[in-house]
Structure formats: structure tokens, C-alpha cells
Amino acid sequence: MANVHRVIGSEESPYSVKVRAYFRYKGIEHEWLGRAQAGSLFERHARLPLVPLVVTPDDRGMQDSTPIIEALEPLFPTPSIHPDEPLAAFVSALLEEFGDEWGNKWMFHFRWARPVDQIGCAKRLVGANRPDLAGEALEEAAATLRERMVNRVWFVGSNAATAPQIEQSYTDALARLDAHLAHRPYLFGGRPAFADFGLWGQLYNCRRDATPRALMESGAPNVVAWVERMLQPTNEGAFEPWPALAETLKPLLAEQVGALFLPWSLANAQAIGGGDEEFTVALRGQAWTQKPQKYHARSLQALQARYAAAQGVPGLDELLAEVGCLEGLRG
């Protein structure tokens, strides 16, 4: 076990399976553990009560999926998850963050919006954490968890007014991704990029719940194939040049990142800066109201810093202006 990383996570956590997929792709020797299996290992290393937690062979703990991958990539540089072309690499990083932050709204909303999904997920979560429970005890524990989680959907901005917007965003994104994936195994060509891991973790978990799974399987067969492929991602070829990707990726960027994610991100950051208890922003002409998400303000700052560091990349500002992302990234 001297060279083995321990990846502590949950199948129901999009960020955990994202990190696991990265480990599998890189061929990094690791052991996948649930919280129940990890025991005191989690308590010793976790700064926050969240998964994933990676414990390195030299007994250091790492949390938060994006920083975990960014820390490991220089140590395991081949095959790289970053396209050589700077413009494509920036778009990949932008979509990775979009997946983590906006894609999580799809996953969390669908998981707790309808009884059929609530019941199924609650039982899976309880079963993973308490394998000793069965029968009536399992049902009672799942019902308690279900009640608690349904009351927390506000955390991702899900409410009666925003629910149709979240669900429309999901189905629109599936359509755009399906068209894009009709001609390539991964988002940026023949091998997974940073973006694949961020988007995939959310969509893999969407497929674990009945309602979003039905929407995916009925209308996006290429997305389904990609979701399955990313369970054991492989290097099937080179990254494609940006001009080959642009025709089908630009509509996704414009409709999802430029029109929804970045305007929401800016309004959220402004609300936090102003100490507001709630904010409202117009997204695609519809009012979106929610309580601020404090963590995401840091995420937006990281994206804006990435954009600042990419100054001088040929064609970047022109692309971002075209898809409505330039203002949000400039801050």
C-alpha cells in the first residue's frame, strides 16, 4: 500500500466520481473507499466534512475536486487533460467550472424535486453509509434523510420559480452535448479533457436518478454513451483543434455559460459583497431568485484569475465576446 492513494468518496457525489474517473484515466494506483470503510482515516485528514478526500501515499489529505486534480496533474502529466492549443484549454477549464457549479444545480434539483427520485436516492445514500440497516430501520432512516434533503434544495437555487429554468437548462444542454458528441468520443476529441471530468460527474449522477435518466436516455444517446465511456476513460487519440470543435461547442457556451452561468455568478457575487440575504437576476429574460451561494464567489474569482492569466491568447476575447462570456470573466 506504500504507493497507493486512498480516494474516500461516494457514488452519489458527483465530485467524488469525477476524481475517481481522473485516477482511473491516469492509471494512478488507488483504493476507493466509502466513509463507512474509511473509518478514522477521514476524521484525521478532512478539514471539512465533505467528500471527496484523497489521502496521498505520504499521508497528506486533499479536498475539493478541482484543486485535487490540479495538484496531481503536474505529478502525472501524461496523458495531459489540457489541450495544447491555449484557446481550447481555456474553454475546457471554463466548462469544467460550469459543470461543477451550474451542472450541480441540475443534479441536486432533480434528485430532490420528485418523490420517485427522492426515495431512490435516499435509500442509496443510507445504504452506503449504514450497510447494517435493513427493512423498517432502513426505510425510517431513508425517510428522515429525504425530509432533510428536500428542505435543502434552496442551497442550489432550486425553488418553485426556478425549477422550470433548471430543468430547461438540463434538457437544452443535453441536446447541445449530444450533437457535439456525435462525432467524437470526448468533448475535445480523442481523449478526456478537464471539461469532461467536471461535466461528467454531474451527468453521471443525473443518470442515477429516474427522472433525469429518462430525459437523457430518451433524447441524448451520444451523451449516454459518453457517460458510460467516462467510467473508464481512455486515450483514444489526439485533442482536436479548436476550429473543428467550435461549431458545436459555441452554442453550448452561448446558451449555458454566457446566458445563464456567468450572469448568475456575477449576481451571486454582488449579493455576497453587498451582504444581501437574497438576489434576483434575469436569465434568458426570466427572473431567477435565490439566496447567495458563498462558496461560488471564490469559484468565480478563480475563473476571472484564469482569464486574466490567459491575456494574449489569440482569438480568446473574440470567442468570449461572441458567446456572451467576456463581461463576466472580466469582472
- Could you give the maximum distance between any two Cα atoms of the chain, in Å? 62
Buried b or exposed e, range 239-258, using 16+ CB within 10 angstroms: bbebeebbebbbbbbebbbb
Q: Could you give the dihedral angle defined by the CA atoms of residues 291, 294, 298 and 303, in that order, rounded to the nearest 10 degrees?
A: -20
Task: Give helix then strand counts, H and E, for the chain.
Answer: 17, 6
What pairs with residue 55 in β-bridges? 6, 61
Write down the pLDDT at residue 1: 53
| pLDDT tens per residue across span 9-60 | 999 999 999 999 999 999 999 999 998 899 899 999 999 999 999 999 999 9
Q: Are 279 and 289 in contact (CB under 8 A)?
A: yes
Which of 39, 62, 40 minimizes the C-alpha distance to 52?
62
Write down the pLDDT at residue 2: 73
Q: List the domains of the chain with CATH numbers.
A: 5-72 (3.40.30.10), 86-107+158-330 (no CATH)
DSSP string, 160-210: TTTHHHHHHHHHHHHHHHHHHHTT-SBTTBSS--HHHHHHHHHHHHHTTSH
Q: Where are the beta strands (DSSP E) in 44-195?
A: 53-55, 61-63
Write down the pLDDT at residue 36: 87
Write down the pLDDT at residue 265: 97
Write down the pLDDT at residue 22: 98
Distance of alpha carbon 4 from alpha carbon 278, whole angstroms: 45
Mean pLDDT, the chain cut into blocks of 10 residues (331 residues total):
90 98 98 93 94 97 97 98 98 98 98 97 93 94 96 94 98 98 98 98 98 98 98 98 98 98 97 96 97 90 96 97 97 79
